[in-house]
Amino acid sequence: MLPIAVDAMGGDNAPGEIVAGAQLAADEGIPVVLVGQPEAIGETSLEVISASEVIAMDEDPTKSVRTKKDSSLVRAAEAVRDGRASGMISAGNTGAALAAATLRMKRIKGVSRPSIATPLPMFGGGTPNILIDAGANVDCTPDLLALFARMGAVYARARYGVEAPRVGLLSNGEEASKGSPLTKAAYPLLSETEWQQATGANFIGNVEGRDLLGGDVDVIVTDGFTGNVALKSLEGAAKEIVNALLEAFDSSDDARKGAELLLPALMPLYERTDPDTVGGAALVGVKGVCMISHGSSSANAILNAARAAHELAETDLVGQLTAALATP
Amino acid sequence: MLPIAVDAMGGDNAPGEIVAGAQLAADEGIPVVLVGQPEAIGETSLEVISASEVIAMDEDPTKSVRTKKDSSLVRAAEAVRDGRASGMISAGNTGAALAAATLRMKRIKGVSRPSIATPLPMFGGGTPNILIDAGANVDCTPDLLALFARMGAVYARARYGVEAPRVGLLSNGEEASKGSPLTKAAYPLLSETEWQQATGANFIGNVEGRDLLGGDVDVIVTDGFTGNVALKSLEGAAKEIVNALLEAFDSSDDARKGAELLLPALMPLYERTDPDTVGGAALVGVKGVCMISHGSSSANAILNAARAAHELAETDLVGQLTAALATP
């Protein structure tokens, strides 16, 4: 198996945590290659593809990819394109990763726009639900939502082994009559049987914001604007609740004693919803595996992203997507 | 002060909890009048406006309001219109309450569409942020978002005493360049100084889903589709987290002991985010006070809604909105 190209320069904790994560992956037998400035990466036994430039977190995505041709992000995408790597990972500028992967790897036939598929933190446990599009495409057509449904279904099976993914359309009510002009126009497209047969998916109709983290759906389809707002709304709520809990846990001697007794019961909950454990988002629709980790990724997050990228390369996500999109 | 008209027949726990809540309000000196079927309401010392029909939770809003002219919802709205009540409350069919209030009370001059302003549960404490529109208007124009911004600012001051409300536009990024076609077109309208001077508001630019429950904004403006998705996303996340916590609290003897010690520290957090405490949403833009409580409202929720409606009538929300919308 070809190695996973790891953008060593992307992320708040780059290159230290990124290199450490790549080493952890290599230690458990996942082949990796670092991409970045050798002097910044420092001493390592891992293979390094040299790239002299770095795209910063806040740079304009398309412009930076066009001008910084020797950046770690662009070189990582080229490594996949050129058959030097089986996939890539970056914790850097998400928009630039999207642009680099799209421009260098090119799109799969039938994909007008690649999309970001994000696993959601399941507080109740179980396989993460997939939110697609989580932010790549702000302005969408009904056809695009239908494309996201297909790609999301294929991804849920390739990534999490969901055999018959239940696909829901994010709306403001469960009834088919509810929705925005966009979702109302997408609904009949998602109701068609052909794509469901081609992907093994079941379209279950509209779902609501409260279903995002529930067990009744596997793939939630939406435009990138609504997806971004929904994802950040639930992440924000989780953060506010955790902060309020931590404050309560430290509010008195009794509370501190109680929190200590509860700790072993709370740890599994913490672990299964930690972004570093849940893993990164995937850019789907390009001719290559591309995992996008969050900016604050630790070594552990990079390890998990490398595992996911390696698995997706092994199960041939791109081939599966190509086949599913080749049927009408 | 005229009484608050309470729709005794609306809600999952009607009429029992509704009547009990109205009685609690009366007990603390808030004048109330029940609206509904006298035989269902039963024995009470409260004044009753008789209404023979009931609009069910799942009935078509506009059609039910048009055909059930003697329903409790329609009669409650008429009581406000006719000067028999200073405001109304319903825990029933939200869409029908919106239709009844709009059709019977009529819109304030300059209001093309009334909107639902919902207080958000602040886990960190403090004054609730206002989300407007939380679901009344799925398909919005930039002008409508500008209207919601005005009404939301006036409402935040009237309801919570926020003197200079910070108004944010819900988007997929903080930069002014981020957004959907709708929010990008609304941004320059919200940036205009005239409406900010007329309402005392400060437009702070784009805000994200993660800001909904934070302390850096008071009023979050969005279309009813996005608002509904965002609200239900955070409510869903909160529910999943609480369920997972309750499970952890009961997972072992140590955990149960710890939870018992923590209980006094957790109760204030529970209370300040309980929907019954946070209170109902308001329909703003009609010529009358109209509070919409959630369907599962308890007596305590109705008491809080009655308090809010009474305060809003006393501070003349309608007059304040009328004045703010009369300036260009």
pTM (2 d.p.): 0.95
The confidence score (pLDDT) of residue B29 equals: 97
Tell me if A254 and B265 make a contact (CB, 8 A cut-off): yes
Tell me if A237 and B180 make a contact (CB, 8 A cut-off): no
Residue whose tokens read 């825990």? B91
The confidence score (pLDDT) of residue A328 equals: 65
The confidence score (pLDDT) of residue B328 equals: 65
The confidence score (pLDDT) of residue A268 equals: 87
Nearest to B258 among A123, A248, A259 (CB): A259
Tell me if A254 and B239 make a contact (CB, 8 A cut-off): no
Nearest to B213 among A135, A211, A237 (CB): A237
> For chain B, what percentages of helix, strand and coil (3-state, to nearest 5) are there?
50, 15, 35
Provide the chain A residues 154-213 that lie in CB contact (below 8 A) with chain B: 170-173, 179-181, 183, 208-213
Nearest-Cα residue of chain B relative to residue A233: B209
Nearest to B139 among A171, A181, A251 (CB): A181
Tell me if A237 and B232 make a contact (CB, 8 A cut-off): no
The residues that bridge with B292 in the sheet, in sequence order, are: B90, B281
Q: How confident is the model at residue B271 (pLDDT cuts 50, 70, 90)?
A: confident
Q: How confident is the model at residue B94 (pLDDT cuts 50, 70, 90)?
A: very high
> With contact defined as beta carbons under 8 Å apart, do A58 and A93 qualify?
yes
Q: What is the mean pLDDT of residues B52-66?
A: 95
Interface test with B, best of A233, A261, A271, A296 (most B CBs within 10 A): A233
B292/B136 Cα distance (integer angstroms): 12
Q: Please give the distance of CA B132 from its chain centroid, rounded to a whole number.
A: 9
Q: Which residues of chain B are within 8 Å of residue A236 when distances are taken between CB atoms?
A: 208-214, 234
Q: How confident is the model at residue B270 (pLDDT cuts 50, 70, 90)?
A: confident
Q: How confident is the model at residue B327 (pLDDT cuts 50, 70, 90)?
A: confident
pLDDT at B279 over 90: no
The dihedrals phi and psi of A199, each to the nearest 5 degrees, come to: -110, -10
pLDDT digits (tens, 9 = 90+) for B27-37: 999 999 999 99
Q: Is the ipTM of this complex over 0.85?
A: yes
Nearest to A269 among B224, B248, B269 (CB): B248
Task: Compute the nearest-CA separation of B223 from chain A (Å).
Answer: 10
Tell me if A236 and B212 make a contact (CB, 8 A cut-off): yes
The confidence score (pLDDT) of residue A112 equals: 96
The confidence score (pLDDT) of residue A288 equals: 97
The confidence score (pLDDT) of residue A280 equals: 87
Question: In sequence order, which residues have a C-beta less than 8 Å from that of residue B112 and are 6 or more positions away?
Answer: B143, B144, B147
Q: Which residues of chain B are within 8 Å of residue A264 when distances are taken between CB atoms?
A: 252, 254-255
| Of A296 and B275, the one with more pLDDT | A296
pLDDT digits (tens, 9 = 90+) for B143-159: 999 999 999 999 999 99
> With contact defined as beta carbons under 8 Å apart, do A276 and A21 qualify?
no
The confidence score (pLDDT) of residue B87 equals: 98
Across A36-50, B41-55, B272-286, least confident range = B272-286
Q: Are strands A281-284 and A289-292 parallel, antiparallel or unpaired?
A: antiparallel
Provide the chain A residues 102-131 that lie in CB contact (below 8 A) with chain B: 122-125
pLDDT at B10 over 70: yes
Q: What is the mean pLDDT of residues B102-109?
A: 97
Give every residue of chain A whose pLDDT is below 70, as ranges: 328
